[in-house]
Amino acid sequence: EGYCNSPTCHRMTFMFGPLYEHSQLNEATHTAMIEMFTIANMKTYEQLTRMIRKHKITNYEGEDVYMPHIERLRIPITFIHGEFNKL
């Protein structure tokens, strides 16, 4: 694959990891991603930053509201991914 100079692609890879193979995208899809992924909810990233700094899962305010009730997460979860998914 050649080097992609799209800031959108680089931002998506930084935030989410490698999501696709460029060779599988046509030019129209690659161009449309700029519109689809330009705006990001920064509060989500602020919360992620707080969790990383605290070394635990917290809500946006930094409160430990999830782990005290871990039994509530006993639900079926299905992970779907592609053959080359690197997340």
One domain, residues 84 and 47: yes
One domain, residues 22 and 61: no
Work out the average pLDDT over 69-84: 78
pLDDT at 29: 87
One domain, residues 27 and 46: no
pLDDT at 37: 78
Tens of pLDDT along 11-32?
888 877 888 888 888 889 888 8
When the pLDDT of each residue in the chain is averaged and rounded to a whole number, the result is: 82
| Global confidence as pTM | 0.51
Q: Quote the DSSP letter at residue 22.
A: G
C-alpha 46/C-alpha 51 separation (Å) is 9
Segments forming the whole domain that contains residue 77: 41-87
**For residues 60, 63, 68 and 74, what is the CA-based torsion angle, rounded to 10 degrees?**
0
One domain, residues 27 and 3: yes
One domain, residues 35 and 45: no
| Domains: count for the chain | 2
| CA angle 74–71–59, rounded 5-degree value | 100
One domain, residues 69 and 81: yes
Q: What is the largest CA-CA distance in the chain?
A: 48
